[in-house]
Amino acid sequence: MKKTMMGNYAASWGAQLARVQVIAAYPITPQTLIVEKLSDIVADGELDAKFIKVESEHSAMAACIGASATGARAYTATSAQGLALMHEMLHWAGLARLPIVMTNVNRAMAPGWSIWADQNDSLSQRDTGWMQIYASSAQEILDSTLIGYKVSEKVLLPTLISFDAFFLSHTMEVVDMPEIELIDKYLPPYKPDYKMDVNDPRSFGALTDEQYYYEFRYKMQKAMDEAVDIIKEAGKEYEKITGRAYGLVHPYRCEDADMILVTSGTIADTTNVAVDELRAEGKKVGNLRIRVIRPYPKKEILEVVKGVKKLAVIDRNISPGYSGIFSQELKSALYNEVDIPVRSYIAGLGGRDVKIEDIKDMANDALKNDAPNDLIWKGVKI
Amino acid sequence: MRLTIPEHEIMTPGHLACQGCGGSLAMRYALKVFGKDTMLSIPACCWAVIDGPFPYTAVNVPLFHTAFETAAIMASGIKAGLMVQGKDTTNVVAFAGDGGTFDIGIQAISGAAERNDDVTYIVYDNEAYMNTGIQRSSATPHGAWTTTTPVKHYKKGPKKNMAEIMAAHRIPYTATASVGYPEDFCKKLEKAKNTKGFKFIHVLAPCPTGWKYDPRYTIKLAKLAVQTNYFPLYEIIDGIHYKQTIKVKERKPLKEYLKYQGRFKHLLEDEVQFLQDFIDENYGLLSMKFE
């Protein structure tokens, strides 16, 4: 069934189709619509779930952890400050190996107060043991929620699905809602091997000395490694029932490209249009959208970029004191593998619009200049 | 006298508590009453250690170790997870120290209380951050020494009145208890177990390590705290109906309670009197509410 909806509601309906059992959430712009809709869905009896209206995002994540530890499917959504407040519990969910799925509407961190698109909120949570997906359409938000649970419950790691504030959260798109019967087959009820069970009493997360902790981290890394193939399999299986394919990276016109732009989020969709226009001008440019940043798809990226003469990364985020985060990750993936110069651009922080012309400007700048550059500010007004 | 404390033991003896630990007694009684169909949420506190390191456990019921400020909401999350799976009968108990309750955890407790989530919150109060090495909390009484309120500037100002804060949420059941009165404590645990909604039990749990007393005096001090009106035992139904459960005919002088404890030994006569007056005034205000 096709429906016109905002990106936020695609997240709500994704959670409903996933038959989440416990939702714990706290309002924050621009995410609020997601949980408002879910609140309606639960109140109307359209989803058999318990909704805990918590007093903070820290508690939202804690409640999801408790529910997930009993074997229930748990969900929450947040943005920026809320995600930052959860930070401690994100580590907790990751190390407790609980398959929680969370939606994060990418919003700039304060101060100054900003409610607009920026990826620094979720990228600050990169090392918490969550798999991270960056969606670029409303359809992908819904689909990723289902794929997210599928993968999470297999590898026992939580999934964070992020997408840009307002550009995606509040814009309308036609979204195909898969039939629930198909989804029920794709995503059967969560049945963990270990959970809180009065008939098999165990202590979870007890004091762990160095004789054990090190191996816990090793196993977490193994799970991340395995997740790469499992994400691909889950994407392929999803394609069989919906016709929509999802991988870890999505290349666009990269096959014969001399230069590839590396992008994520809504900038990636705009970049596809820019690529078409640049191609029409005779410039052999492609776009590689990074959809999953944890686990990092190093092999998949190298397969696309090997042989290309130049790379240009566009980051809607920055690690102050160094550079854009996707840029750093890309360069670390290339090092020791291939020698391709990388030009790294910062654009669109705090929700500043990144238009087709802006992307073409960056691409043309990169085409003209052969020298690598770690940090180029696009359109800074100082 | 008829024994009202359940005979069976759920907690095992192989735990890591200090000699004379009031907090381990509190857990022992709590599990006796709540039974095997119980799940625990335990934040950072002495009990995060007492239960034993991975892969050991001493409580014999499922236990989720959680972050300092999340005992209450973790219990709510566990309860919600159980309810959606049709396991409504399982008791979910948050068991936390005073730091995790009076200080860092109070926001999540207030949230769970306001929503009236169907869990029991037990705070075993040893009146300071004992697990990290005796730092003051907002449960530390006026006059007490701790490592962050050394003798030169000992704790000034009263202990936070947690029971009143909980009663103000109009939760169905609030009670104070002492490990020195186990039958009274067990009756209150039983009431909590049989009441729907958010239940809060504040149990005084003397700590020989932090209070600087001989471990053999744990029960004596847990009784003296009540007999001096330092820690009156009562319950509050629906936040408004106050009932004293252990009546003290003639209160003992507070110094009877203080004199065993190294943490108070620096107090001069006038400070002891100040504390005595404060305790009497507090009790006077409370006793007006008893029905």
Helices and strands: H and E segment counts in chain A: 12, 16
Q: And the tokens for A129?
A: 């043991």
Q: And the tokens for B135?
A: 């730092």
> Where a domain ends, among A188, A219, A242?
A242
Quick check: B80 and A52 CB within 8 A?
yes
Query: How far apart, in Å, are the Cα atoms of A185 and each of A22, A104, A231?
Result: 20, 26, 17
A120 and A221, same domain (yes or no): yes
Q: Which of A196, A204, A219 to mutate to test the interface with B (most CBs of B within 10 A)?
A: A196
Kindly calculate the radius of gyration of chain A based on its CA atoms and give it in whole angstroms.
20
Kindly report, residue by residue over A62-101, the tens digit of the pLDDT: 999 999 999 999 999 999 999 999 999 999 999 999 999 9
CATH number reported for the structural domain that contains residue A150 in this entry: 3.40.50.970
The pLDDT score that the predictor gives to residue B79 is: 98
A382: in domain: no
> Where a domain ends, among A223, A242, A261?
A242
A7: in domain: yes
ω into A112 cis (within 30 of 0): yes
The pLDDT score that the predictor gives to residue B277 is: 98
A360: in domain: yes
B6: in domain: no
B208: in domain: yes
Quick check: B81 and A68 CB within 8 A?
yes
Kindly report the CA angle at A134 between A126 and A322, in degrees rounded to 5?
Answer: 45
Task: Decide the pairing of beta strands A172-176 and A2-6.
Answer: antiparallel
> Coil, strand, or helix at residue B164?
helix
**How many domains, in total, are found in chain A?**
2
A284 and A229, same domain (yes or no): no
A229 and A284, same domain (yes or no): no
Task: Decide the pairing of beta strands A373-377 and A292-294.
Answer: unpaired
Quick check: A24 and B74 CB within 8 A?
no
DSSP-assigned beta bridge partners for residue A22: A50, A74
Q: Does A100 reach chain B within 8 Å, measured CB to CB?
A: no
The pLDDT score that the predictor gives to residue B229 is: 98
* Chains A, B: CB pairs < 8 Å: 158
Q: Which of A70, A73, A98, A208 to mutate to test the interface with B (most CBs of B within 10 A)?
A: A70
| A209 vs B contacts (CB less than 8 Å) | 53-54
**How many domains, in total, are found in chain B?**
1
The residue-averaged pLDDT of A116-125 equals: 98
A304 and A273, same domain (yes or no): yes
Quick check: A59 and B111 CB within 8 A?
yes
A66 closest CB neighbour out of B63, B74, B110:
B74
* Phi then psi dihedrals of residue A241, to 5 deg: -90, -20
Minimal CA separation from B191 to chain A, in Å? 22
The pLDDT score that the predictor gives to residue B1 is: 54
Cβ contacts of B49 within 8 Å, gap of 6 or more: A207, B16, B131
Q: And the tokens for A311?
A: 């790379």
Q: Does A68 reach chain B within 8 Å, measured CB to CB?
A: yes
B13: in domain: no
> Where a domain ends, among A242, A266, A287?
A242
- Which residue from A minimizes the CA distance to B83? A50
> Coil, strand, or helix at residue B231?
coil
Domain that holds residue A32: 2-242
Determine contact, residues B67/A205, Cβ cutoff 8 Å.
no
B264: in domain: yes
A214 and A259, same domain (yes or no): no
| B44 vs A contacts (CB less than 8 Å) | none
Residue ranges of alpha helices (H) inside A44-114 are 57-69, 80-95
- Complex ipTM, two decimals? 0.97
- pLDDT confidence tier of residue A266, bands split at 50, 70 and 90: very high
Minimal CA separation from B6 to chain A, in Å? 19
Closest CA to A326 of A123, A140, A168: A123
A53 and A116, same domain (yes or no): yes
Quick check: B54 and A68 CB within 8 A?
no
B133: in domain: yes
Determine contact, residues A168/A142, Cβ cutoff 8 Å.
no
Q: What is the mean pLDDT of each successive set of 10 residues along chain B, which is 291 residues long?
A: 84 95 98 98 98 95 98 98 97 98 98 98 98 98 97 95 98 98 98 98 98 98 98 98 97 98 97 97 98 96
Minimal CA separation from B240 to chain A, in Å? 24
Quick check: B78 and A69 CB within 8 A?
yes
Residue A17 and residue A14: Cα distance in Å, rounded? 5
Closest CA to A306 of A273, A351, A357, A260: A260
Quick check: B74 and A63 CB within 8 A?
yes
Minimal CA separation from B101 to chain A, in Å? 15
Cβ contacts of A291 within 8 Å, gap of 6 or more: A133, A134, A135, A136, A246, A247, A248, A249, A250, A264
State the angle between helix axes of A298-305 and A325-334 in degrees (0 to 180), rounded to the nearest 10.
80
DSSP-assigned beta bridge partners for residue B65: B42
Determine contact, residues B159/B138, Cβ cutoff 8 Å.
yes
Contacts by B279-283 with C-beta closer than 8 Å and gap 24+? B279/B228, B279/B229, B279/B230, B279/B254, B280/B229, B280/B251, B282/B158, B282/B229, B283/B229, B283/B232, B283/B251
A174 and A99, same domain (yes or no): yes
B64 closest CB neighbour out of A22, A196, A209:
A196
A322 and A344, same domain (yes or no): yes
Minimal CA separation from B253 to chain A, in Å? 42
Residue A148 and residue B277: Cα distance in Å, rounded? 62
| B27 vs A contacts (CB less than 8 Å) | none
Determine contact, residues A73/A21, Cβ cutoff 8 Å.
yes
- Which residue from B minimizes the CA distance to A50? B80
A212 closest CB neighbour out of B54, B61, B87:
B54
CATH number reported for the structural domain that contains residue B190 in this entry: 3.40.50.970
Domain that holds residue B138: 22-287
Minimal CA separation from A122 to chain B, in Å? 21
A350 and A300, same domain (yes or no): yes
Q: What torsion, rounded to 10 degrees, do the Cα atoms A346, A249, A9, A89 define?
A: -80
Kindly report, residue by residue over A44-57, the tens digit of the pLDDT: 999 999 999 999 99
The pLDDT score that the predictor gives to residue B4 is: 83
Q: A362-380 burial by CB neighbour count: b if 16+ within 10 A, else e?
A: bbeebbeeeeebeebebee
B136: in domain: yes
Q: Does A342 reach chain B within 8 Å, measured CB to CB?
A: no
A363: in domain: yes
| B53 vs A contacts (CB less than 8 Å) | 206-209
Residue B43 and residue B35: Cα distance in Å, rounded? 21
Kindly report, residue by residue over A172-218, the tens digit of the pLDDT: 999 999 999 999 999 999 999 999 999 999 999 999 999 999 999 99
